[in-house]
Structure 1
């Protein structure tokens, strides 16, 4: 029998003394050489990539302030707390990494400056949105402020380009959004691993099911081929095939839709909603991981990741990522594009072609 993979100290009791620190510790199990069953069990876990490595355990601990000042004392105290628990399993452990946060909120000068800048810029955006109609007729600073209006940036971002390339590859908008949805789903596993999990065995099954159900066709084949462990010339040949097979699966879909194949799938990929969302995918990609990490960041007890919990986290992550991503697109990316176009000379595709000829 192995100790729990994750275990959390009571945060509420720890917070009764504001000078305490709430720490996350990673400890490596030390197993007696005579305990062959446990050694083989942990070895089997470490060889299976779909399982957690049970050689390590993770704990949150309430550590008094006097042990925080010196690293050697901190690690010694943290190891003692873990080893008190390990006595029941006739094992020992050595803490290899500890990250501590003070119970009381600490705000430094840099935090204050960042907060002031964020608040001021958002107030400016709200003011520009409110004054857009009256200021857009003015000149100078007032006109520049009106360009920051969320209504104005929305019009610029939601207007599809009237070019031949865009019309031929309009289905790429849906492909980008669909790809973003898959990325968020696959990153659920990465984000979940930053939380303490109450039932790792159930979580492992959920993660495997999601992986299999979201991988299909040539894309799924390339992923499975990438997991094969081989050496030498076989590895070189297989490595050359994985990326082309993955790309071929995506390219065939895009090529077919550009030639009016696909039926309802093509109509969905070229819909107005997907065109608008596609224009915001860059910011959604940047923001989706922090959003997913924050969903379970402040839980005070290990989280039970069953199928419903994963689906719930996925739905919340998609909604929040796209909402925040759209706002960042309108508030930061689009104003940045306008500044870039004012500063740098703009050369169209056809001008480039004429110059090369």
Structure 2
């Protein structure tokens, strides 16, 4: 399935991240150099492939390309979008922010208005800019150079990944106002539980609708909006059934079949009843703490 391309890429990058973090753990003083070198290598790889193969600046969502995408026949898709090496930089950006959060988790960080304003510009502003700037590339008279294509392929989706990382890090620091409230809203959590199942089936829902059309349609804004809303509603309905009948039962079986981890063993040991000697020592400790 075209929408499951990321599973192989994510698996490769997960193994890669373990090796990268092992190196960072051993040479912690050179963490900046290690992370920085990885980001540069990822950017250079994308730019070199786009430049040498003279690829278009984006994968254009034209009918011909969409038809070929059903069979994953586009070479540019494999070289610059779905491969593990083409996503190294975005993955490393996530590791960097996770590393920063881990290192500063016990520190008190003062947040000023300037920080909040920068956060909005660097998260939502930067992500939307990268998406909207591609609209100019769909103009009939637009022609890009090979250098422009190399730069956009190297920077485009990685700037978007940087914006997402900044956004999540800001949420962790209690920044975000209504955006953070929306992400923590219980109703959104329910939808979030259904997201993966919906993601798996949504492409099939769209293709069935397209396959049932027997005559040309006059495309307008109203038709597009109503079609999109209908696809979303039907996809979530089918995704809900998928989640209830498959994902949740498999998740429950997985918890039963996988051996108990060390963390669970320690947690269970803490829940065991204390013997009389341990209770006596615990009472003494409580009395000392009360006196202090």
TM over 0.5: no
| Structure of greater Rg | 1
Normalising by structure 1, what TM-score? 0.34
Task: Identify, as 1 or 2, the structure richer in strand.
Answer: 1
TM-score under structure 2 length normalisation: 0.41
